[in-house]
Structures are given as C-alpha cells and as structure tokens.
Amino acid sequence: MRSIKEILEEKISPLLGTSAEVTRSTRPEFGHYQVNNAMKLAKERKQNPRAIAMELKEQIEQGLSEWVEKAEVAGPGFINLHLQKSFLAKELDEMVRDRHLGIEQNHQKQKVIVEFSSPNIAKPLHVGHLRSTIIGEAIARLFEFYDYEVLRLNHVGDWGTQFGMLIAYLREQQKEVLDGGLQVSCDLLLKFYKESKQLFDVDPAFKKRAQESVVELQARDEESVKIWERICDISRQGFNEIYDLLGVHLVERGESFYNPMLQEVCAECEKEGLVTESDGAKCIFLEGYKTQEDKPLPMILQKSDGGFNYSTTDVAALRHRVRDEKADWIIYITDLGQQLHFKMVFDATQKAGYWSPEKVRIDHVTFGLVLNPDGKKMKTREGDNEQLIDLIYRAIDKAKGIFKERLPDLPESEIDHMARVIGTGAIKYADLSTKRNNDYIFSYDKMLQFEGNTAVAIIYSYVRIQSIFKKAGVDLAEVEKAQMALEHPSEVALGLHLRRFSDALEAMREELLPNRLTEYLYELSDHFNAFFRDCQVVGSSEEKPRLLLCTLTQKVLKQGLNILGIETLERM
C-alpha cells in the first residue's frame, strides 16, 4: 500500500498542474496533512498566495471528497486537509487483512549484506560489539520483513599477529591445552592472550618466535592451523552464548576468509596505478586525507615486512561482496571510531573499480559510546570490569525480581521466560531508541520502567489488548469479519497513526535509524492508551469495529517489536 501522503499527492497534482507537495500536519488542530504549494505558485504567477490557496481548497473539496472531508486555508497559504473517516477506515480494513500489514515488498529480491557484531577472537565481546549486534540484528530483520535477500555476516577478527603470539605461547607454556588435556574457558583464553602479549612486548626472542608462527600459520602449516582452530572454537563458544541469549543469528565469515585474496587485491590496485611505495610499504594515498601534521595520510595495503593490514582485508571483503556475492546494498555496522577507516576503504575500492554508487549502495552505519549512569565510558573490554554476558544476565535478573513481586503465583519457568524476554528486550530497546550516533546511557532502572519510551511500556500495551480480548471473550476470526469504523477523535488519531506504519519503516530503511521505529511504537502505544481511555470497547455498540482496531494495533506492535528483535508476552 502506498502512503497516504503519496495518495494525496497523486490526486492533488493534476489540480495544480505541477507535483503537489504534501506533508504531515504538525498539530492535530491543523488537520491530518497539509499542501504547501500555494506560496511557491504565487511567486511564479505573481499572485496572492492566499487567493491561490482558496481556489485550490474549493477544488479539493469538490473533486477529492472521497478522500478529503474538509480543507482549510491557514497562515500565508497552507491548505490543511482533514481526511474522510470512511477512506481511512477502508485503508485500515485492507491493512489488517494483509499478511504484511500493507507494507510493499521488495519484489526484485535485491540482496543486502548486513555486516555486524564482528568481535575479535581471544578477546571477549565488549559493549561496542553489543551495540553493533543489536542494531545489526534490527536492520537485518527490517530487510527480511521487506523480503530482501539478506546475508548477515560476522566479520570476526580471526587473523593477524595476535595469533602468532598465542600460538607460540600455547606451544611453549600450555602444552596440555593443545593435546586437549585442559578445558579452556574464554576467560582463561583472555588470560593467555594477555600473558602472551606481555611476553611479546618484553622478550625479543619470544617476539621473533611469535612472528615466525604467523608466517607458519599463513603458510597453512598443519599444526599451527590446528592450534588456531582450537583458539577460534573457544572464543566462538563464548560469542554463541551471547547470540543465543539475544536470539541473534549470523554467518561467521571472519578476516581469515579473505586472506587468500589479499595478494591478488594488492596486485590489482597496483595495476590500477593506485599504489605508491613509502618506506618499503605499499600504500594508497587518496586525495583529501591528511594526518594531524597535515601530511598525506596513507592507507597501507602491505607493510614492509610483507604482512597485510586490517584495511587490505576490508578491500578484499568489499570486492568479494560486490563481485562474488553480487550484493546490491552493503551495510557495515561499527562504532564511530572506524569512520575514517571505512571512508578510505570505500574511496579506494571505488577508485580500484570494485564498485560504483550507481550500481551498489554502501553504508557505514555508526554509533556512539555506551556510558554508565555516571556519564563515564562503560568498559568491559579487558575483563577488568564485568563481562558483557554478566551485563545481560543482570538485566534478566532484575526483570525476574520485578515479576516475582508482581505475579507471585506464577510458576518459576514462566517467570524465567518473561524475565528473559523483558531483560533482553529492555537492553535492546534502550539501545535502539537512542539516536545511534549519540552516546547511550546504560541504566537498568530506566530501561525497566513500565512507563515512558521503554520496551516494557510497549509490551505492556500489547498485553493490555490481550486482556481486552479475554474480557470480550470473542475469537479473532469473528472480529476480523467486522469492518473498521472510526468516529471518536481518539479513534481517528489511532487509526491514522496505524496507517503510518509504512512511513516509519520507510524512514528506518532509508536512514538506517532504528529509533524511527521505536518513536513510532512509542507514539502508537500512547495513541492506543488515549483511545482506551476515551472509547469503551467491550460491551459498547461499537464493540466489533473497536476490537478490530485493537487487533490491528496489536499486530503492528508485535511486528514492530519483532523487527527490533524483541518478543512479546501474553501477560505480565
């Protein structure tokens, strides 16, 4: 279904003889939509804008009465439109019966790659990875709902010098790990990582052995590969525990996957004349990139010792995603700190001819820091503070405490389920409802509130509708036989907001901003609460159509939350 804005523009343009410009009204007393053309037309025709607006108002009221109940001229020449309630009701009837709630599907089945999470092997996930995971999951789900072909990639850091250190260290100091005699947890692996790093920094002989180990690994030496795989397995278990808890699915395709392509990618860049030698390193200098000392800033493809860089892998990954995966749209989700890196990668790969903006859309979706309620940067990186998994379990625990108090008679297993849905939902929603480039304050107290812009409040509206149905004692199939009817202003306001679900999703897709959807859902639950306050549902003469409006509200709430990766509850 097209948006109401588009429908109105299509109907009004012929009256104007130019494309109509329709926007949402900023306040309810200004109607539902407004037409903004009169001022510009007046300038062109050297006429009075209000006179033009008056004429247009007449035309709209006469010609578009099926859609517009009344039009009013306001201010310098705006035309405020009040929609015909019967038109809105008809639209909602269509929406409630559509499996996709009136959202137009991507019939060309374009392919989008969403790369997110991307933690590093041998280190734990930190809060930055958590944000990437939550935002990435929501964006991937949105595209799935639109019926794109979606590939969710986890670009884990599973290659590089740190493996040389770890391999040399395990070989020399932790032999029993290698022959499987010692079970290694992620924490223990982190400890080994830190110890090997320390040795690497102070012991030149160890450093040399570590570097040799990297070379061996790169040459696919059998024993080195085996140790490397073992290390990756241990980390993977830790990552998966978190993904399972959050209900996140990803295809792991780490940096190592692109390793065999790096040499060729370098050669191609050289052939394109992009590469300059500087201090023995192969560099790409791009226009407009400067160091802090105002010197040209290189992107290093190959270091003087022959090793490749983080950037080289990203160049190869981009080439692979366009050329081999045939992606139409690629989305990278990382913290703001990597902005420069990705800008350079996108520019260099475009120069190398690997992609062009006419054929592929590429976005770097960035986000700000996670702060403690005291405003300081939250750190879980080095394991000195709490681990990410503990952070999530803590939210679940707190939710459990709340439910135990509210619903003391419920069986433990149900409380556990509810606590998981609300605990993880609260964390996700708190993150997604922050405009992503802003820093986000991690506060259990705020995210678990029953009122305000929280997952809890929105799920609570959903549950409320559930209890209306219980009270009415009718089954859904019966309700869906009814037709929408909107009379009361609160009913109209709710209906209009429901019809704008597609606008919210569209905004999230274009700007890749999940907070567009959280704002929409927050407003929806507000509109619903006002409707519930003002309009009697069960036992009224309007019972059937009002239950139908509740049904649509419930469907939109559930679908909206589902896109955010948040489940609903049947009671709470």
Q: Tell me if 158 contacts ligand ARG by CB under 6 A.
A: no
Q: Tell me if 236 contacts ligand ARG by CB under 6 A.
A: no
Q: Least Å distance between CB 345 and ligand ARG? A: 8
- Gap between the Cα atoms of 451 and 400, Å rounded: 18
What is the widest separation between alpha-carbon atoms in the chain? 89
Closer residue to ligand ARG, CB minimum distance, 310 or 393: 310
**Residue 79 pairs with which residues in a beta bridge?**
35, 73
Q: Least Å distance between CB 432 and ligand ARG? A: 20
- Gap between the Cα atoms of 253 and 114, Å rounded: 12
Using DSSP bridges, classify how beta strands 329-335 and 361-367 pair: parallel, antiparallel or unpaired.
parallel
Q: Per the structure block, which two tokens stand in for 190?
A: 């982190």
Q: Tell me if 387 contacts ligand ARG by CB under 6 A.
A: no
Q: Least Å distance between CB 438 and ligand ARG? A: 20
Q: Least Å distance between CB 177 and ligand ARG? A: 24
**Per-residue exposure over 379-412, b if at least 16 CB sit within 10 Å of its own CB, e if not:** ebeebeeebbbebbeebbebbbebbeeeeeebee
- Gap between the Cα atoms of 68 and 32, Å rounded: 10
Closer residue to ligand ARG, CB minimum distance, 155 or 236: 155
Q: Least Å distance between CB 115 and ligand ARG? A: 6
> 155, 282, 420, 546: which one contacts ligand ARG (CB under 6 A)?
155
- Gap between the Cα atoms of 560 and 415, Å rounded: 24
The contact mask relative to ligand ARG for 100-119 (x = CB under 6 A, - = no) is: ---------------x--xx
- Gap between the Cα atoms of 121 and 231, Å rounded: 8
Q: Least Å distance between CB 297 and ligand ARG? A: 18
Closer residue to ligand ARG, CB minimum distance, 389 or 530: 389
Closer residue to ligand ARG, CB minimum distance, 28 or 337: 337
Please check whether residue 554 is in contact with residue 446, taking contact to mean a CB–CB distance below 8 angstroms.
Answer: no
Closer residue to ligand ARG, CB minimum distance, 157 or 560: 157
Residue whose C-alpha is closest to residue 540's, from 472, 473, 482: 472
H or E stretch covering 149: strand 149-154
Closer residue to ligand ARG, CB minimum distance, 314 or 431: 314
Categorise residue 291: left if φ over 0, alpha if ψ from -120 to 50, beta otherwise: beta
- Gap between the Cα atoms of 434 and 518, Å rounded: 9
Closer residue to ligand ARG, CB minimum distance, 68 or 156: 156
Closer residue to ligand ARG, CB minimum distance, 315 or 504: 315
Residue whose C-alpha is closest to residue 295's, from 281, 278, 309: 278
> 34, 154, 302, 334: which one contacts ligand ARG (CB under 6 A)?
334
Q: Tell me if 157 contacts ligand ARG by CB under 6 A.
A: yes
Q: What does the DSSP 8-state code read for residue 120?
A: B
Closer residue to ligand ARG, CB minimum distance, 318 or 494: 318
Q: Tell me if 120 contacts ligand ARG by CB under 6 A.
A: yes
Q: Least Å distance between CB 266 and ligand ARG? A: 17
- Gap between the Cα atoms of 160 and 179, Å rounded: 23
Return the percent helix, strand and coil in the chain, to nearest 5.
Answer: 55, 15, 30
Q: Least Å distance between CB 482 and ligand ARG? A: 50
- Gap between the Cα atoms of 231 and 379, Å rounded: 24
Number of residues that bind ligand ARG (CB under 6 A): 10
Closer residue to ligand ARG, CB minimum distance, 102 or 157: 157
The beta-carbon contacts of 302-308 under 8 Å, at least 24 apart in sequence, are 302/266, 304/279, 304/280, 307/161, 307/214, 308/259, 308/262, 308/266
Q: Least Å distance between CB 114 and ligand ARG? A: 12
Closer residue to ligand ARG, CB minimum distance, 117 or 490: 117
Q: Least Å distance between CB 155 and ligand ARG? A: 4
Closer residue to ligand ARG, CB minimum distance, 119 or 238: 119
Q: Least Å distance between CB 253 and ligand ARG? A: 10
Q: Name which of residues 265 to 324 contact ligand ARG (CB under 6 A).
A: 314, 317
Q: Least Å distance between CB 333 and ligand ARG? A: 8
Q: Which residues bind ligand ARG (CB under 6 A)?
A: 115, 118-120, 155, 157, 314, 317, 332, 334
